[in-house]
Amino acid sequence: MRRPSLVPVAALSALVTWQPMAASAMPVAKTATPIEHLIVIVGENHSFDNLFATYKPKHGQTVHNLLSEGIVNADGTPGPNFGKAAQWQASDTDVYRLAPTKTQPYATLPQPNTTYANGQPPGVPDQRFPANLPNGPFQITKYVPYDSYTGDPVHRFFQMWQQVDKGQHDLFTWVAQTVGIGGQNVPPTTPADTYQGGVQMGFYNMHTGDVPYFKKLAREYAISDNYHQAIMGGTGANFISIGTAGDAAFYNTNGTPTMPPANQIENPDPMPGTNNFYKQDGYAGGSYVNCADPTQPGVSAIMNYLNTQPNKPFNGGNCAAGTYYLVNNYGPGYNPDGTPAPLGPTHFTVPPQTMPMLADAMTAKGVTWKWYSGGWNNGHPTNEYCSICDPFVFSKSVMTSAQRNNLQGMSQFQSDVKYGTLPAVSFVRPYESQAGHPADSNPYHYEQFVKSVIDQVKSNKKLWAHTAIMITFDEGGGYYDSGYIQPIDFFGDGTRIPMIVVSPYSRGGDVDHTYTDHASIAKFIEANWGLSPLTKRSRDNLPNPVPTPGDPYVPRNKPSIGNMMTLFHFGHGDGHEDGHGDGHSNAQDD
C-alpha cells in the first residue's frame, strides 16, 4: 500500500522541472524530479517469492507472498493454504500446449538435483535435501546454510510459458522433470533424466534470518511486489529487454530480418514417444521463433491464449512478419573488444542488432550513461564477466561508435563514485560469482555486492542526496512464484522478480503494487529526463496502469506498465543527505 501523501503519477508532468544542484558528478540534463543519478543493479535468477516468501512489511503495508497467501507459515512449514501451490503432473505427447491435460498431483516433490552447483557432484539428486519433500514450496535453508550453492532450475522461454499454466502456476515441477533445459546441451538431457527434480520449488526465509540485507533495505526504503521479468525464460533475452524497453533481438543480415540456421529454430512440440520432451530446444540448439507464423511449433498455443484475453495484446502480439526473434540465450554479435563474433549453425551468437536501444536515446538527448560489468577488464574480460548480460554489446550503433567507451568495469564505477564523475544513468552487473545466480553464486554473495555499491554511493553525500538505486534481477530463474502475470504480448511478461528502490526519496518501508516490468526502467528514465519511447515496438509506449478496484495488482487498462514513479516520495522533504529521511523508516520487527 502507498501513503496518500504521494504525488499522483498523473501529476508528474505538472511538476516544475528540477534544477540540479551544483555539479557533484558529470553534468546531467534537467530532470523532472530531484533524481539526478539513477543506478540500476541487476543480479540473476530469483523470483519474488524465492527471496521474499515470508517478508512481513511494516504496519499499514501489505505484500503478496507465500506467507500472506497462507501457502507457508512464518517458520517455513506448510501453511493452511499449502495446496494452492501444489504441483501437478500432466500429459503432452503430440503438440506444444500451454495447459496440457493434468493427470494427478505429485505425491511428494522429486528430490532436488545438484545440476552444476559449486562443490557438489554434477547432475545427481542432491543428498542434502530429502527425497520426499511435501508437494509445494520448501525452505532451502532448513537443509543447507544460507550461503550454500544449490541447483539451478530450468528457465527457458517455452518452458516458462508452460510452467505458469495460464496463470495456475502449477506445472513448474512437471515441465522441469519432462524437458528441463532441452536436449541440445552438453551433456545432453534426456527424457529419462532432465537433471532438475524439485529444485524450482525452493525459497529462502526472511523471517528466520535469510536475505537479511535485502530485508533491511525493504524495511527502510521501498519495494515492488508486482515487478516482472519482461520476457518469459532466461538471462540473455531479459538483459536485452532492459536495453530495448521490452523488445526482443532478431536474426538479421545487415539489419534485414532473415531466416537463421534450421538447427537454431525452436520446436517445442514433443518428440515422438515422449511426454513433453521438446524436439528442438537447448543452449546449443533452438532459440529463434517466427511468432508471426501460426504454423511454427509453439506459436499458436501462445497466440491463442493472448487472443482469449479481454484486452488485445500489445501490437497484436508484437511479432513482425518474417522475423525470427531470439527468446533464449545466445551470445552477442560483437566481442567485448568490438570485433564481430562469428555466426553460423555451430556458433550460437545473434547477429548485431540494429533496433534503437536505450543507449542511443540517452546519447541523443545528452543524458550521460555507462554500463559497468564485473570482469570487463577493459574489453578483455575475465571469467567473472557475463557476455549475455550487457544488452549494449549486442548493439551495432554502440559497438561501432564512441558509445562503446561507455562500457566499463567495476573499478571505473568505484572511481566515478569517489571522484564525482558518475553519469546520469548507470547500469551495474556484478561479477559472475557475486551475481546471485544459483549453482555458481547465491543470494548471500549478491547481497554483499549490493551492500558494497550502496555504501560507496552513500560515502559521497552530495551524490547520494539526489540518487536512486534500483536493485533487481534479470529474471526469476525458473523458481516458483505465486504472483499475477500480465499477458502483454507473445514474449511475456514472465514471473515476478524483486525490485528494491534505495534513495533519500524512497524512504518508509512501502510496498508498491503498481504493475511494472523491465520496460518500466526505460519509462522512468524517459519520464525523468524527457525522452520519447524508443520505437513503436517497445513497451515504453504502454500507459501507466489503472488498478482494478479491489485488486491493485491487475491493471484495469491492460496492457499497461508503470514508470516506477510510484516508488518515490517527491516534494515532501524526503531528501536528506545524511540518509535519515523523514521518520518513515520505523519498520516493525517480525
Give how far Cα 391 sits from Cα of 233, 453, 531, Å. 16, 21, 19
Report the distance separating Cα 530 and Cα 441, nearest Å: 38
Tell me, what amino acid is at 568?
F
Specify which residues 468 forms β-bridges with: 38
Grid cell of 116 as nine digits:
552444476
Q: What is the 3-state secondary structure (H, E, C) of 479-512?
A: CCCCCCCCCCECCECCCECCEEEECCCCCCCEEE
The answer to whether 66 and 481 have CB atoms below 8 angstroms apart is no
Q: How many CB atoms lie within 10 A of CB 582?
A: 14
Laid out side by side, the sheet with 510-512 consists of 407-409, 369-373, 425-429, 37-43, 467-473, 499-502, 222-224, 510-512
- Predicted TM-score (pTM) of the model is 0.92
Per the CB < 8 A criterion, the answer to whether 279 and 267 are in contact is yes
Per residue, what are the HEC states of 382-422?
CCCCCHHHCHHHHEHHHHCCHHHHHEEEHHHHHHHHHHCCC
Cα–Cα distances in Å, from 250 out to 239, 324, 384, 577? Answer: 14, 5, 27, 45
Instruction: Give φ, ψ of 347 to 5 degrees.
Output: -115, 115
Nearest to 474 by CA among 437, 520, 511, 513: 437
Q: Are 237 and 248 spatial neighbours (Cβ–Cβ below 8 Å)?
A: yes
CB-CB contact of 350 with 251 (8 Å) = yes
pLDDT for position 219:
98
CA angle 365, 369, 374 (to 5 degrees): 160
Which of 323, 417, 325, 307 is CA-nearest to residue 370? 417
Measured at the CA of 96, the angle between CA 228 and CA 311, to 5 degrees, comes to 45
For the chain, helix (H) and strand (E) counts, in that order, are 12, 22
- Residue 447, Cβ density class (10 Å: 0-12 exposed, 13-18 middle, ≥19 buried): buried
Q: Which residues, 6 or more positions from 355, have their beta carbon under 8 angstroms from its beta carbon?
A: 244, 247, 250, 534, 535, 537
Per-residue pLDDT of the chain (590 residues; tens, 9 = 90+): 333 223 333 333 333 344 443 334 455 579 999 999 999 999 999 999 999 999 999 999 999 999 999 999 999 999 999 999 999 999 999 999 999 999 999 999 999 999 999 999 999 999 999 999 999 999 999 999 999 999 999 999 999 999 999 999 999 999 999 999 999 988 889 999 999 999 999 999 999 999 999 999 999 999 999 999 999 999 999 999 999 999 999 999 999 999 999 999 999 999 999 999 999 999 999 999 999 999 999 999 999 999 999 999 999 999 999 999 999 999 999 999 999 999 999 999 999 999 999 999 999 999 999 999 999 999 999 999 999 999 999 999 999 999 999 999 999 999 999 999 999 999 999 999 999 999 999 999 999 999 999 999 999 999 999 999 999 999 999 999 999 999 999 999 999 999 999 999 999 999 999 999 999 999 999 999 999 999 999 999 999 999 999 999 999 999 999 999 999 999 754 443 333 333 333 233 34
Residue 472 three-state SS? strand
Question: Residue holding cell 542511443?
Answer: 360
| C-alpha closest to that of 245 among 155, 330, 359 | 359
pLDDT recorded at residue 21? 39
What pLDDT shows up at residue 590?
A: 42
DSSP state of 268: E
- Here the cell at position 564 is 516506477
Q: What are phi and psi of 31, to 5 degrees?
A: -120, 155
Q: Tell me, what's the pLDDT at 28? A: 53
Reference 76, options 210, 218, 225, 223; nearest CA is: 210
